[in-house]
């Protein structure tokens, strides 16, 4: 009887040790999962920020280039060499700034759905 009690005690100790090991493994796994989710969220935020940055850059540069090309072509048609090029490049720059302003003032995230105002 004493040997059975001792064996039951040893089994209880072994079961407690396994339970503690499983509990520690589960805690590590949950911690690792939380870290992974945080890293994925950070990557998503970085990707969205880079996307917005490239969009702002392209909107601004496109405005300037389109204005300059229109001024260059109008100068060729009307023979007013640099005048319309300068004026249309200025208009293109203003249009580029306006597009950047509209992008910056647009609601982002879940509040506005990330759409541009019309």
The reported pTM is 0.62
Cα-based angle 95, 52, 115 (whole degrees, multiple of 5) = 80
Could you tell me the two tokens for 112?
A: 């506005």
pLDDT-based confidence at 115, cuts 50/70/90?
low
Three-state DSSP class for residue 110: helix
What's the CA gap between 117 and 34, in Å, rounded?
A: 36
- What percent of the chain is predicted at pLDDT more than 70? 90
What's the CA gap between 103 and 84, in Å, rounded?
A: 28
For 19-47, what is the mean pLDDT? 91
Per-domain residue ranges of the chain: 2-112
Residue that wins the pLDDT comparison between 31 and 87: 87
C-beta pairs of 112-115 under 8 Å, 24+ apart in sequence: none
What's the CA gap between 7 and 1, in Å, rounded?
A: 10
């Amino acid at each position: 009887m004493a040997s059975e009690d001792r064996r039951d005690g040893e089994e209880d100790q072994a079961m407690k040790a396994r339970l503690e090991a499983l509990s520690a493994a589960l805690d590590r796994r949950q911690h690792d999962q939380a870290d992974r989710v945080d890293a994925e969220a950070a990557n998503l935020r970085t990707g969205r920020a880079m996307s917005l940055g490239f969009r702002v850059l392209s909107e601004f540069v496109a405005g300037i280039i389109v204005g300059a090309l229109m001024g260059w072509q109008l100068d060729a048609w009307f023979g007013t060499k640099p005048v319309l090029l300068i004026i249309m490049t200025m208009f293109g720059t203003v249009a580029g700034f306006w597009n950047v302003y509209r992008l910056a003032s647009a609601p982002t995230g879940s509040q506005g759905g990330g759409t541009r105002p019309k």
